[in-house]
Amino acid sequence: MTGQLVRPDPATDQPSPHTPDRPPRSRFTLLDLFDESVLSISAKPARLILTMAGCVAGIAALVATLGLAQTAAGQIAQRFDAVSATRVVAQPATGAPGGGSFGDDTGEPGATPALPADAVVRATGLAGVEAAATYSPVDVGGLRFSGVDTGVLGSTTGVDLSVVASSGDLLGAELGVLSAGRMFDAGHSERGDPVVVLGTRAAERLGITRLDRQPSVFLGDRPYLVLGILAEVQRRTDLLDAVVVPDGTAKARFGLTGPQQLDVRTAVGAAQQVGTQLPIALHPNDPQTISLQVPPTPGRLSQDVTGDVNTLFLAFGAVALVVGGLGIANVTLLSVLERSGEIGLRRAVGARRRHIAGQFLTESGLIGLLGGLIGTAVGVLAVVVTALLRDWTPILDVRLALIAPLLGAAIGVLAGTYPALKAAALEPIAAMRGGL
């Protein structure tokens, strides 16, 4: 005899030496555990909602942050490619030699720095350049404009408007559109013709509304024929308030020595290459005298913006998740205190420690999973609604929508670990007495 307790033989009602006295095998299955957990958390809906609130907020913030960051990055890349990523601006660098007159690029000491007169021709010869135009503010010496609409609408007097000199392909370089008429060309510039193109707001101030009667505007006592009216300009929007004259006209009448700036529109992805070659093309002997504005690559900008947005809002989401997890932990721990009698009774009828711990872990995991599902739905809805309101295309990684609920469940299990261990450690007698 080893002193080991043995079970009685059912046939003889005598102790059987071959049957050890082992605890009966538990018939509590995982399905039972799941059912018990569902019944337990659904017994108090108000508490369930409050417990899930933190987890819902955290998951929703996480999903919305990543989705909005992806959507915003896509939108930024799209718009950046369309307008800004194809723009290169060249101008004389600070301290560059003075510009010469149109027709040569020799500098004169003391003169205003200027680009070569044939800067447009030199730029358009580069690969990747789709359009180029000069842009030079003109000093008209305080003269004011007056508009004459051939007697139909009368005339206006004394309007202060800025004057800009440019080359013929201004619309192509600045992505502009005319509402009426046409642009001046190289012939107008070479002859110094007194012609202008008005920005739409400048035309309104001068009372010029139609061009079929060939209206003119006066600057001082000199007339200028209005060839066209700018309706829209995507880049230099100040042109809508200005009077645009040909470079040759500005040279002949206002003493413009040369182009002050050169606006170049490139093919998508060619801006950096053009920015490298353009100073050499404009000034082969001293390219350092050319200052350039070249946009960063769209991919880098998109990554920077996405990273900034993610860093900022993911921090909020992480804080919300931590708060949600603490909420689940507190409520689960409170549940353990309230259900100590139930725990003691279950232990007394055969439930093992792992059954008690498993039930509380399952309950907290289910709460986290529900919070994750609801939070994911809220986050996706926030991304879609925001994209619709901003007329954007919503972008959201499908994997995020699948992982987010599981993350909520993991937060719930992690938060419920301590209360579950606390409940499993209860002795049946102590638990039935209501103490921990």
pLDDT at 132: 93
pLDDT at 288 over 60: yes
Q: Output 132 or 332, whichever has higher pLDDT.
A: 132
Over residues 401-420, mean pLDDT? 87
pLDDT at 31 over 60: yes
| Residues 371-400 pLDDT 10s | 889 988 988 888 888 888 877 778 778 888
| Residues 293-331 pLDDT 10s | 887 665 565 666 666 666 656 666 677 777 777 777 777
- Which element (helix H / strand E) includes 36? helix 30-42
Contacts of 372 (CB under 8 A, 6+ apart): 55, 59, 404, 405, 406, 407, 408, 409, 411
pLDDT at 103: 43
Please answer whether residues 148 and 155 qualify as being in contact, where contact means their C-beta atoms are separated by less than 8 angstroms.
yes
| Residues 75-87 pLDDT 10s | 666 666 566 678 8
pLDDT at 29: 74
pLDDT at 149: 52
Q: Output 369 or 322, whichever has higher pLDDT.
A: 369
Q: Output 404 or 302, whichever has higher pLDDT.
A: 404
Mean of the per-residue pLDDT values of the chain: 79
Instruction: In whole angstroms, give the CA distance from residue 419 to residue 427.
Output: 15
pLDDT band at 39 (very low <50, low <70, confident <90, very high): confident
pLDDT at 104 over 70: no
Please answer whether residues 293 and 264 qualify as being in contact, where contact means their C-beta atoms are separated by less than 8 angstroms.
no
pLDDT at 435: 52
pLDDT band at 198 (very low <50, low <70, confident <90, very high): very high
- Of the CA atoms within 13 Å of residue 55, those in its CB half-sphere come to 34
pLDDT at 155 over 60: no
pLDDT at 350: 77
pLDDT at 166 over 50: yes
pLDDT band at 240 (very low <50, low <70, confident <90, very high): very high
Over residues 46-74, mean pLDDT? 76
Report, in this order, helix, strand and coil percent for the chain, each rounded to 5. Answer: 50, 20, 30
pLDDT at 256 over 70: yes
pTM value is 0.53
pLDDT at 123 over 60: yes
Q: What is the DSSP string of 293-329?
A: E-PPPHHHHHHHHHHHHHHHHHHHHHHHHHHHHHHHH
| Residues 12-21 pLDDT 10s | 444 445 455 5
pLDDT at 297: 64
pLDDT at 272: 84
Going from N- to C-terminal start, the domains of the chain cover: 30-78+301-433, 87-95+112-295
Q: What is the DSSP string of 373-399?
A: HHHHHHHHHHHHHHHHHTT------HH
pLDDT at 134: 93
- How far out from the chain centre does Cα 234 lie? 20
pLDDT at 302: 60
What percentage of the chain reaches a pLDDT higher than 90?
A: 17
